[in-house]
Amino acid sequence: MVKERRQAAILRLVRLNRIETQEELVRRLQEEGIPATQATVSRDIKDLRLSKVQAGDGHSYYALPASSSPGDLLQRARRAFQDYVLRIDWTGNLILLRCLPGTASTVSQALDDLHWDEIMGTLAGDDTVLVIVRRPEEDQEVPGWEPLRTVVRRLRDLR
């Protein structure tokens, strides 16, 4: 019950205010009589899928998750690829995306949000995203492996 109340308050505060830090969010919650620590708020932010967005003045603040319709997710991924991905390379069941510095996590999240069946997962560094493509079943032939080619083609289409 406490968690649900705290998370509802976080959503309301983020929707109505420009919250720049977790500490500010903790302070606002406490002002409303809702006990919270930075560690708890950090977990809540992850659970609620809040993200930090850059304002025109250079400051960043927490924002609610964007719309999650398939068309919106594809458009967001396309925009991330066009703006940030410099090169696509692959070997075996791994695809490496070279990105502008500081943008790999945005590209990785955009891919994860698409929920493509062929992609097992992504791992982001500062300027590199590793995309892990599902391996074929043991009884399938690997040379003409379609999942990898499908993912590479779809990634190229995003650019």
Domain match, 128 and 112 both: yes
- Residue 37 lies in domain: 2-63
Q: What is the largest CA-CA distance in the chain?
A: 62
Last residue in a domain, options 32, 63, 94: 63
Q: Is 92 left (phi over 0), alpha (psi -120 to 50) or beta?
A: left
Work out the burial of residue 25: count CB atoms within 10 Å of its CB; fewer than 13 is exposed, 13-18 middle, 19 or more buried: buried
Domain match, 54 and 92 both: no
- Under 8 Å between Cβ of 147 and 134: yes
For residues 6-15, give the mean pLDDT: 88
Q: 7-16, 25-34, 71-80, 84-93 — which is least confidently predicted?
A: 71-80
Domain match, 41 and 92 both: no
Of 125, 116, 117, the C-alpha closest to 97 is 125
Domain match, 35 and 106 both: no
Last residue in a domain, options 44, 63, 82: 63
Domain with residue 102: its CATH number is 3.30.1360.40
Domain match, 56 and 89 both: no
Of 109, 146, 151, 159, the C-alpha closest to 132 is 151
0.75 surpassed by pTM: no
With 70 as the cut, is the pLDDT of residue 69 above it?
no
Measured CA to CA in angstroms, residue 116 lies from 44, 51, 70, 132, 140 at distances of 26, 22, 11, 11, 20
d(CA 49, CA 64): 7
